């Protein structure tokens, strides 16, 4: 089986190079400090949450992960929380099953169903939501165990009016019973919830940022997985893979996956196989990139093209090379691309494309 998974959250044993991040997040959780986990799409938030929650569980805490992707209403949020608790097994799971039934979140919102029972709708979703949000307190009363509640894709609650206020009003009383991790991919949206003084969750959590993977960690892990599966990788090819992946976790794993797939057992991944793998990777991503490119305005495309070529879009001369007339229009395009997670701007060091393969694709497009 191909040892490089690129399409879903990975198991803790497969996580590369996040020792420091995992340790820091676990420490915060164990000290009862709520945390936000920020990172661009596909940088490994869900995988890291899985790893850290497993460690928290080994340390005696109960853990639950609530995926909020795409929620639009309080009903949706209630259904997601209920579903998350329902996936728990063992004595805690059985205990919670009883509590869920007691709070009225019966089978109607378990499983795949997302709607609440009529009874509860009449009684009001708010009461049910409060009961669901307070489950860690009930659990703590009965077992003495604290719960870690991870909300993944938390930026989605922006679309649910008043949800952050309701959440804040409950979790502030959860003291020793629960610690919260709020993970999300769109920095601007998550930032809007936690960094805006006028929002209820302002200052309620310590921020953690997931960056790119270090080259050393990738080199070691990729070489080891080739070896363990009876293949080798030429040092130059490995270097090329690391440079092309630019520390982007999912892109690096995708490239490694494709390279491994064209390397038969007992043989070596070399320049020729790398060429084949890279072509296959870009072909696989063509539709995604075409869709993104089509969704951009002309100045956004110009900014992306400039960054792909290593130019600075806000420098007048560089900007002109891609048809940008004014630094101010480049700046506006940069802001809109950052808010959509296409660019990231690190303090002091300008903007860069989040996805190194998008840069390659744009270069090919412009050269064709």
Q: Which residues bind Mg ion (CB under 5 A)?
A: 45-46
DSSP for 114-154 reads: ----HHHHHH-HHHHHHHHHTHHHHHHHHH---EEEEEETG
Closest CB to Mg ion belongs to which residue?
46
Identify the DSSP state of 48.
H
Q: Indicate which single residue of 3, 22, 41, 67 sits in contact with ligand ATP (rule: CB under 6 A).
A: 41
**Which partner, Mg ion, ligand ATP, none, binds residue 74 by CB below 5 to 8 Å per kind?**
none
Residue (13 or 346) nearer to ligand ATP, CB: 13
Cβ 168 vs Cβ 199: under 8 Å = no
Residue (45 or 74) nearer to Mg ion, CB: 45
| 3-state class (DSSP) for residue 87 | coil
314 token code pair:
């806000």
Contacts of residue 220, defined as CB under 8 A and 6 or more positions apart, other chains included, come to none
Site string for ligand ATP, 45-64 (x = CB under 6 A): xxx-----------------
18 is a site residue for ligand ATP (CB under 6 A): yes
Q: Which range touches ligand ATP (CB under 6 A), out of 34-42, 56-64, 236-244, 274-282? A: 34-42
8 is a site residue for ligand ATP (CB under 6 A): yes
Residue (45 or 257) nearer to Mg ion, CB: 45
Token match 């992306």: residue?
304
Q: Indicate which single residue of 34, 156, 179, 185 sits in contact with ligand ATP (rule: CB under 6 A).
A: 185
Residue (134 or 153) nearer to Mg ion, CB: 153
C-alpha span between 108 and 96 (Å, rounded): 16
C-alpha span between 133 and 216 (Å, rounded): 42
Q: What pairs with residue 150 in β-bridges?
A: 65, 181
Give kind and range of the element (H or E) at residue 182.
strand 178-184
CB of 256 to ligand ATP, least distance (A): 9
244 is a site residue for ligand ATP (CB under 6 A): no
249 is a site residue for ligand ATP (CB under 6 A): yes
42 is a site residue for ligand ATP (CB under 6 A): yes
CB of 47 to ligand ATP, least distance (A): 3
**Which partner, ligand ATP, Mg ion, none, binds residue 43 by CB below 5 to 8 Å per kind?**
ligand ATP
174 is a site residue for ligand ATP (CB under 6 A): no
Q: Indicate which single residue of 253, 269, 330, 337 sits in contact with ligand ATP (rule: CB under 6 A).
A: 253
CB of 184 to ligand ATP, least distance (A): 9
SS3 letters for 188-223? HHHHHHHCCCCCCCCCCCEEEECCCCCHHHHHHHHH
From the list 157, 137, 146, the residue with the least C-alpha distance to 200 is 157
Q: What pairs with residue 184 in β-bridges?
A: 38
**Which partner, ligand ATP, Mg ion, none, binds residue 116 by CB below 5 to 8 Å per kind?**
none
**Which partner, Mg ion, ligand ATP, none, binds residue 249 by CB below 5 to 8 Å per kind?**
ligand ATP
C-alpha span between 188 and 184 (Å, rounded): 10
Contacts of residue 76, defined as CB under 8 A and 6 or more positions apart, other chains included, come to 70, 114, 160
CB of 265 to ligand ATP, least distance (A): 22
6 is a site residue for ligand ATP (CB under 6 A): yes
User: 327: exposed, middle or buried (C-beta count within 10 Å: 0-12, 13-18, 19+)?
Assistant: middle
CB of 278 to ligand ATP, least distance (A): 17
Binding site for ligand ATP (CB under 6 A): 5-10, 15-18, 39, 41-47, 185, 249-250, 253
């Amino acid at each position: 089986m191909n040892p490089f998974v690129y399409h879903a959250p990975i198991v803790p044993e497969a996580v590369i190079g996040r020792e420091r991040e995992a340790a820091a997040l676990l420490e915060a959780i164990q000290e009862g400090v709520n945390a936000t986990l920020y990172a661009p799409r596909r940088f490994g938030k869900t995988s890291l949450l899985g790893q850290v929650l497993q460690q928290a569980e080994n340390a005696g805490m109960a853990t639950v992960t609530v995926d909020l992707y795409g929620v639009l209403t309080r009903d949706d949020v209630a259904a997601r929380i209920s579903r998350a608790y329902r996936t728990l097994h063992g004595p805690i799971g059985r205990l919670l099953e009883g509590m869920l039934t007691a709070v009225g979140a019966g089978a109607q919102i378990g499983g795949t169903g997302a709607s609440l029972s009529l009874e509860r709708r009449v009684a009001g979703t708010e009461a049910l939501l409060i009961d669901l949000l307070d489950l860690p307190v009930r659990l703590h009363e009965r077992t003495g165990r604290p719960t870690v509640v991870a909300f993944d894709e938390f930026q989605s609650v922006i679309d649910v009016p008043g949800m952050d206020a309701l959440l804040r009003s409950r979790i502030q009383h959860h003291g020793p019973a629960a610690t919260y991790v709020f993970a999300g991919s769109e920095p601007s949206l998550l930032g809007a919830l936690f960094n805006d003084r006028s929002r209820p969750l302002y200052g309620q959590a310590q921020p953690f940022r997931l960056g790119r993977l270090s080259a050393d960690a990738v080199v070691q892990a990729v070489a080891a997985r080739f070896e363990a599966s009876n293949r080798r990788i030429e040092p130059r090819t490995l270097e090329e893979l690391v440079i092309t992946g630019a520390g982007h976790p999912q892109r690096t794993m995708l490239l490694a996956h494709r390279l491994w797939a064209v390397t038969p057992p007992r043989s070596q991944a070399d320049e020729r196989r790398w060429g084949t793998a890279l072509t296959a990777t870009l072909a696989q991503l063509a539709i995604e990139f075409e869709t993104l490119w089509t969704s951009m305005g002309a100045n956004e495309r110009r900014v992306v093209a400039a960054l792909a070529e290593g130019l600075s879009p806000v420098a007048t001369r560089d900007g002109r090379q891609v048809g940008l007339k004014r630094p101010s229009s480049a700046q506006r395009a940069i802001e809109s691309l950052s808010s959509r997670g296409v660019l990231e701007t690190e303090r002091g060091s300008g903007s860069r494309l989040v996805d190194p393969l998008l840069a390659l694709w744009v270069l090919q497009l412009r050269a064709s």
